[in-house]
Structure 1
Amino acid sequence: MKQTNITRKDFIRNSALSIAGLTLTPLLMNTQASNPKLKEKDLSTGHYVLKNVRLETGFEYEEGEVSATKTKLFAVEIENGKIKKISANKPNNNKAIDAKGMLMLPSFKDMHIHLDKTLYGDRWQAVAKRKGGIKGMIALEQQILPDLLENSTYKAEKMIELLQSKGTAFARSQVNIEPTSKLQSLKNLQAALANKQNSFGAELVAFPQHGVFYTDSAAYMKEAAQTDIDFIGGVDPYTIDGAIEKTMDFTIQLALDHNKGIDIHLHETGESGLKTAEYLIDKVNENPVLKGKTYLSHCFVLGKLDAAKQEEMAVKLAEAQIGIISTIPFGRLVMPIPTLFKHGVKVMTGNDSIVDHWNTFGTGSVLHKTNLAAQLYGQVTEFNLSRMLKLATAGPMPLDDKGNRQWPKEGDEASLVLVDASCSAEVIARMSPIQSLIYKGNVVY
């Protein structure tokens, strides 16, 4: 496929986005068209004011329960990628960009995705029938990766644009590191991220998809660890490498040696899955420098445990400050996300694979994931729906549990979305349309 570079200006002009059958015209670009005093250069200088911005200011209560969310219109000044000032609204300020009463929220974050190997942006192709389990998929990847790498930079850029259209301005991406692609997948993705650096942020996980020792990926993992990647990854050490301790010790030591975080794919749901999770907890407790920077992606074994063991594991994960990144599956496996939340475990979500040889589906929307989680766990009240927003933002929420405004504050990074909704709870329940996305003060669309 011929690679084409889509400039930011072209993306702005052509980003009337089709989402769930609805054509959305970017709000800020409409504002520019309707106000001749606003030029594109006014947005590109990095210093501008948004007026008629709706911010959440507190909760309303009935009989001691949250019944509604209070909001008010403000003016928000942005300069040098930061929120410089939040002040009383000035609707008659003709030099300001009119947010038209849209709700301002933190921009979204996809915390588990594979930007480096996708079919998105290429011809349609559904997943083929799997043969031979995980090792059969490794054999398939060894066969198809050379072709995938030929235009992986272009496809990664198209994937990023899909995420942006759903309000996401940041991702944690896994990157294949193995003997077939060596470090080429990493280099191609880094090129895509460099092309999008003004509109999208990312952190990278060196991911030994084909096993650390099963395909002799250790040398390439060591080489990747010396680059500017952020996390050392891993995947099902017992199933693929045949040994928990050997692979986990290699991964943990590599992270310690190079001051990286850890992010382990753990799909195993039996005894080996539990032993791997407990082994990681013990090792992080032995090396406190890893606390707050270690994650288990999927960790589906948690969904197979009885309630008492789930509570025990949640306490241990919280004490070790190990986060869980769940794709929020439905069906027979239900992850204990409310239990994890209750004990203070950091839980984040992501789209994982989108239209690739692993998965045919994928909307690119973490808001969709959050909506599914709210439905799955019965989070239907105003308060509970609003609390689910942290799945989409990977943490930040406008109001704390007592209804005090905690975001935005002056000095915060100006990465935000403007949404056609009255409050966070409505955004989650209705998956409200994203009208505009701003990343570090740069208007993406």
Structure 2
Amino acid sequence: MTELPRKAAARTARLAALPLGYAGRQAMGLGKRLGGKPAEAVASELQQRTAEQLFRTLGDLKGGAMKFGQALSVLEAALPEDLAAPYREHLTALQDSAPPMPTATVREQLTAHLGADWKDRLVWLDGAPTAAASIGQVHRGRWDDGSSGEREVAVKVQYPGAGDALMGDLRQIARVARGVAPVFPGIDIKPLVAELQDRAADELDYQLEAEAQAAYAEAFADDPHIVVPAVVAVGGQVLVTEWMDSPHSLAHIIREGTQAERDHYGELFVRFLFEGPQRTGMLHADPHPGNFRVLPAPDGGLGRLGVLDFGAVARLADGRLPTAMGRLMRIALDSDEESLVAGLRAEGFIKERIEVDPAMVLNYLSPFVEPLGETRFTFTREWMREQFERVNDPRAETFTLATKLNLPTSYLLIHRTWLGGIGLLSQLGATAPFREILEESLPGFAD
């Protein structure tokens, strides 16, 4: 067996062991309960140990395992605090790190995808990676194109066999979703994995990523608040972009930031999310903290927000977010229940012959537009947990309504990005002029 198949087999075995480990802990838990330990304490201990094993395993892997872990990490704010706190460190670690590939492998990839003469242009390359992601890692280098002189660059190199690993891991995670589900009560794991599978091919295509990043870099070139590095070169599984000096990502602000920093960078994040589609016709669809970098101001004050990783973008129909999305949010905010149901039905959120109570639909959806009802809204972990608990409480009157609602294909990535963005803002605990930003940037909302 060659090296790559051996590694793939090892990854599959470790992922497959996750539900088995959970089953074993369940059996141990039963013994503890029989021994007199309170059921709630046993359940909490069981969940914490399952989470620790899950994120320790995901953190040691690449491919789909890490991509899945990063997607879950943004939703951490929705978990009950007593469950989230013990393994928050495991979750946030997935947002910035992965095991590095050997230097020799990096050089082989550069030769294969930039050509044998890559050293003529990439005149210096740091042997150690500065960052790692789910399908590749980044090295700092110095580029000389012979015309504009040398400049600092970021060299993104895809792991060899990343495509097979990504798809293989996602297939395995889909099979073991039931074993993972107890770690995230109230979060439906299967649709999350299905969506990651659907967009995997795009994320492996560095040419597509380069095109998206180049469009964003041009659109935000003169922006005083947002920085997107320009694309320098691309070839197969290597992407070279301008270097961006940043001491840390939003994950650091989540852990240690002042309230002023949380509010400032939270607002810049929201503005970028909604202005991006206006300027480029695309939606940056990977809102985890590691993709957003803090660029301090020269005077030591609050600085700009740098944006990385354009592998996951939604190329929007008509080059903008759906006008109906903004219009429906405005209708819900105005509590017009009959128009809300009619609009949802027209967009395919409620299928033909499905009958719903308009008042119940408004009651179900109104908390999702709650941030729009105030001049400045404060996103918190507590608020996000309340929303998840509310929509997933089987005792609630609106619980069965969720089974009657449909998510149209055209809204899948938009919905995932919206949810991830709200999760990030809740982790930040940011106060932002959410309504003002949507009035400026979301089609249909201010009409």
- Whether the TM-score (by the shorter chain) exceeds 0.5 is no
Between structures 1 and 2, the one with greater strand share: 1
TM-score by length of 1: 0.26
Structure number with the bigger relative contact order (C-alpha 8 A, sep ≥ 6) is 1
Between structures 1 and 2, the one with greater helix share: 2
